[in-house]
């Protein structure tokens, strides 16, 4: 299979996503062709490096990778500081390239280090989770958490290249894989009925990590993300549709202190809440709401929500970054592949939707 190339064109940088089985084995050639600085550093996690590091080892001419822990609780400025320290000790100058090799946590954190070290060095993302391949590696959002909230510190810093190799997903735990698939469903539901249908139709091949089926859904997801980011780099307008499922989703993550759900799982619930809301006000046909609920259910069970009080979820939503001038901007599905952004969702509607999804009264 020839690699697929997807272009991202933003005001701050134009770059390509190169996607295909074996793409990481050609990484050195891609970086050379882009004339990226030859002093190269890889930031990865011990686990990802142990599983797949040998495929990248040639890239740096023997320089040791910078290994950092990649749990959500390590996504903070202390870990970024360890990356800075390693770069300084290795005399990394402006003419350096930082390659991130890991999931969304490593990409966001090391991307932030690249954005800020010497006011910015070349950055290449090589994402190794499904979520990072279809979502976080594209679009330039980098950053870390603060003790008082998630992703509160960050920047927009587009990479110079993104290399997506589905073959690394062979080692990804099933739960992580499913968590990424919910974001793929998000793309289908907001932007592409054909992607939505494909996930349902080919779920066996996708879960079996069949290279063709997997490459197709990743490519379509990357195309959607690339298109949205190219139209709206800093999320002033169209990019906001990708927040579908994320308002209630983020609240769910915050209320459970980021421990119970994988991000994608919380987004799955968030999409269900948004769909209940939309069908409750007649904006979404019940058939479409049910198709979404069925597709989510078909991937397997989600961790429970029945013990979580809806009042706590509502409270957490009020602290959301999507509040603009005191009003919550909410992405509602209006059909499979279409959305509307509204700012008039009432507490009563939200409570009813949460109850219908199964939260505690």
Ligand X SMILES: NC(=O)c1ccc[n+]([C@@H]2O[C@H](COP(=O)([O-])OP(=O)(O)OC[C@H]3O[C@@H](n4cnc5c(N)ncnc54)[C@H](O)[C@@H]3O)[C@@H](O)[C@H]2O)c1
Residues with catalytic roles = 119, 141, 183, 225, 235, 239, 243, 246, 250, 263
Binding to ligand X (CB under 6 A): which residues in 179-238? Answer: 179
Distance between CA atoms of 207 and 210, rounded to whole angstroms? 8
How far separated are the first and last CA of the chain, in Å rounded?
A: 52
Of 8-16, 33-41, 87-95, 165-173, the window that binds ligand X (rule: CB under 6 A) is: 165-173
Please say which residue, 8 or 350, places its beta carbon nearer to ligand X: 8
Burial 304-328 (b: 16+ CB within 10 A, else e): ebeebebebbbebbeebebeeeeeb
> What φ, ψ does residue 318 adopt, rounded to 5°?
-70, -15
Instruction: For the segment 228-287, give every residue that binds ligand X (CB under 6 A).
Output: 263
| Closer residue to ligand X (CB): 179 or 295 | 179
Whole-angstrom Cα distance, residue 326 to residue 335? 28
| Least distance between ligand X and beta carbon 72 (Å) | 6
CA-to-CA distance for 217 and 131, rounded, in angstroms? 12
Selected from 72, 312, 320, 349, the binder of ligand X by CB under 6 A is: 72
Q: Quote the CA–CA distance of 4 and 162 in Å, as a whole number.
A: 12
* Binding residue for ligand X, selected from 21, 176, 210, 312, defined by CB under 6 A: 176
Structure tokens at 87: 């770069």
Among 28, 34, 51, 341, binds ligand X (CB under 6 A): 51
The Cα 241–Cα 186 span in angstroms is 10
Among 82, 108, 134, 161, interactor with ligand X by CB under 6 A? 108
Structure tokens at 322: 């999507």
CB nearer to ligand X: give 151 or 203: 151
In degrees, rounded to 5, the angle at the alpha carbon of residue 275 between the alpha carbons of residues 274 and 279 is 120
Of 116, 114, 119, the closest CA to residue 137 belongs to 114
Which residues between 121 and 150 bind ligand X (CB under 6 A)?
128-129, 131-132, 135-136, 139, 141
Cα 181–18–193 angle (5° rounding)?
40
Tell me the closest approach of the beta carbon of residue 104 to ligand X, in angstroms.
2
Interface pick for ligand X out of 168, 252, 302, 305 (rule CB under 6 A): 168
Length of the chain: 361
Q: Which is nearer to ligand X, 48 or 113 (CB)?
A: 48
Q: How far is the CB of 283 from ligand X (least distance, A)?
A: 26
CB of 253 to ligand X, least distance (A): 9
Question: CA 142, CA 337: separation in Å to the nearest integer?
Answer: 27
Q: Which residue has the tokens 């011990």?
A: 46
CB of 267 to ligand X, least distance (A): 9
Looking at beta carbons only, is 92 or 132 nearer to ligand X?
Answer: 132
Nearer to ligand X, 142 or 284 (CB): 142
81 binds ligand X (CB under 6 A): no
- Per DSSP bridges, beta strands 327-328 and 323-324 are antiparallel
Among 17, 41, 75, 265, binds ligand X (CB under 6 A): 75
CB of 159 to ligand X, least distance (A): 11
> 53 to each of 61, 70, 245, 334, how far by Cα in Å?
13, 15, 34, 44
Site for ligand X in 88-107 (CB under 6 A): 102-106
| 345 in Cβ contact with 314 (< 8 Å) | no
Q: What is the C-alpha separation between 334 and 89, in angstroms, rounded?
A: 53
Among 23, 124, 172, 331, binds ligand X (CB under 6 A): 172
Judged by the rule CB under 6 A, the positions of this chain that interact with ligand X are 45, 47-48, 51, 70, 72, 75, 102-106, 108, 128-129, 131-132, 135-136, 139, 141, 151, 168-169, 171-172, 176, 179, 263
């Amino acid at each position: 299979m020839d690699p697929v190339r997807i272009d991202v064109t933003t005001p701050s940088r134009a770059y390509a996503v190169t996607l295909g089985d074996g793409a990481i084995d050609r990484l050195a050639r891609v970086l050379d062709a882009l004339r990226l600085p030859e002093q190269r550093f890889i930031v990865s996690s011990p686990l990802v490096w142990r599983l797949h590091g040998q495929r990248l080892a040639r890239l740096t001419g023997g320089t040791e990778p910078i290994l950092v822990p990649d749990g959500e609780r390590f996504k903070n400025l202390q870990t970024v500081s360890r990356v800075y320290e390693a770069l300084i000790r290795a005399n990394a100058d402006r003419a350096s390239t930082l390659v991130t090799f890991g999931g969304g946590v490593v990409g966001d954190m090391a991307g932030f280090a690249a954005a800020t070290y010497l006011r910015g060095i070349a950055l290449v993302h090589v994402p190794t989770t499904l979520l990072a391949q279809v979502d976080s590696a594209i679009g330039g959002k980098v950053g870390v958490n603060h003790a008082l909230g998630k992703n509160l510190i960050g920047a927009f810093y587009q990479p110079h290249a993104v290399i997506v190799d589905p073959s690394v997903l062979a080692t990804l735990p099933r739960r992580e894989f499913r968590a990424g698939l919910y974001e793929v469903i998000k793309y289908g539901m907001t932007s592409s009925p054909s992607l939505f249908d494909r996930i349902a139709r080919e779920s066996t091949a996708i879960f079996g990590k069949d290279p063709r089926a997997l490459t197709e859904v990743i490519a379509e997801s990357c195309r959607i993300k690339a298109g949205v980011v190219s139209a709206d780099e800093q999320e002033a307008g169209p990019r906001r549709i990708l927040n579908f499922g994320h308002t209630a989703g983020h609240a769910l993550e915050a209320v459970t202190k980021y421990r119970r759900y994988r991000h994608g799982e919380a987004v799955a619930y968030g999409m269900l809440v948004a769909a209940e809301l939309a069908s409750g006000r007649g904006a979404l046909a019940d058939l479409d709401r049910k198709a979404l609920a069925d597709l989510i259910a078909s991937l397997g069970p989600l961790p429970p929500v029945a013990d979580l009080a809806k009042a706590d979820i509502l409270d957490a939503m009020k602290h959301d970054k999507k509040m603009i001038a005191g009003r919550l901007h909410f992405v509602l599905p209006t059909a499979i592949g279409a959305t509307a952004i509204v700012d008039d969702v009432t507490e009563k509607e939200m409570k009813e939707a949460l109850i219908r999804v199964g939260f505690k009264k």
